[in-house]
Amino acid sequence: NLREGAEQKVVFITGRVHPGETPSSFVCQGIIDFLVSQHPIAHVLREHLVFKIAPMLNPDGVYLGNYRCSLMGFDLNRHWLDPSPWAHPTLHGVKQLIIQMYNDPKTSLEFYIDIHAHSTMMNGFMYGNIFEDEERFQRQAVFPKLLCQNAEDFSYSSTSFNRDAVKAGTGRRFLGGLLDHTSYCYTLEVSFYSYIIGGTTAAVPYTEEA
């Protein structure tokens, strides 16, 4: 799909906006390792999609060992509405790139996925947006359901769709409002600790490899 003049279907992935959520980096690394592998599914994905990945949105917070904030004390995931090029440069750059792609008729932004880690919940799960259009809302539920069928550690029952005011400045909420009905925006959460396989009660600890 990189032929001259061909439409690009883009999947945009971001991670580590909260520096203390280290599992998000392992998930992001796993995605990158898979996409550049010789696996036949990875080959098909590369043939049909363009993946743009910003694996660490808060590098200064990670370097300093902060849990949630940047060097200047900002929770970057509450500043998507109007990021400052001076105070929130990584957010500003990513947002400008996404808007540029959105305005390009040759680019279709299919998915935006922001990877986080959760300190109290188990398993992997997602947050999605709520829309007045019921058909759009139903279509948005398909991807988490597919994940649940294909990943033993993913929980659809823990997945939720919301539009809480406190989440208004997050990437998922902002881009869900900006992009049109053909785009899907999610927060992907993965537990710090472990997951429970359906039908059992035993917790399986996450490892770096898993």
Backbone angles phi, psi at 167, to 5 degrees: -95, 5
**Total number of domains constituting the chain:** 1
Q: What's the rounded Cα separation, in Å, for the pair 146 and 30?
A: 19
Residues classed as catalytic: 189
The closest of 7, 1, 11, 8 to 143, measured between CA atoms, is: 11
| Count of other CB atoms within 10 angstroms of residue 192 | 15
Q: Is residue 2 part of a domain?
A: no
163 inside domain: yes
15 found inside a domain = yes
Residue 1 lies in a domain: no
Q: Residue 165: its pLDDT value, please?
A: 67
Write the CATH number for 96: 3.40.630.10
Residue 183 lies in a domain: yes
* pTM recorded for the entire structure: 0.93
Q: Which helix (H) or strand (E) holds 54?
A: strand 50-54
Say if 108 falls within a structural domain: yes
Q: How far is CA 52 from CA 61, 112, 113, 136, 150, in A?
A: 22, 10, 11, 24, 23
pLDDT by position in tens, the chain (length 210): 567 778 899 999 999 999 999 999 999 999 999 999 999 999 999 999 999 999 999 999 999 999 999 999 999 999 999 999 999 999 999 999 999 999 999 999 999 999 999 999 999 999 998 877 888 888 899 999 999 999 999 999 999 998 776 666 788 888 887 877 788 999 999 999 999 987 788 899 998 888
* 210 located within any domain: no
- Domain span including residue 193: 8-205
127 pairs with which residues across the strands?
A: 160, 187
Q: At what angle do helices 40-48 and 23-35 cross, to 10 degrees?
A: 90
Kindly state the greatest CA–CA separation across the chain.
53
In whole angstroms, what is the distance from residue 185 CA to residue 129 CA? 7
**pLDDT number for residue 2:** 66
Q: Look at residue 24 and tell me if it is in a domain.
A: yes
Q: Is the dihedral of CA 127, 128, 132, 138 positive or negative?
A: negative
Listed in sequence order, the residues at least 6 apart from 100 whose beta carbon sits closer than 8 Å to its beta carbon are none
- Give the pLDDT score at 177: 77
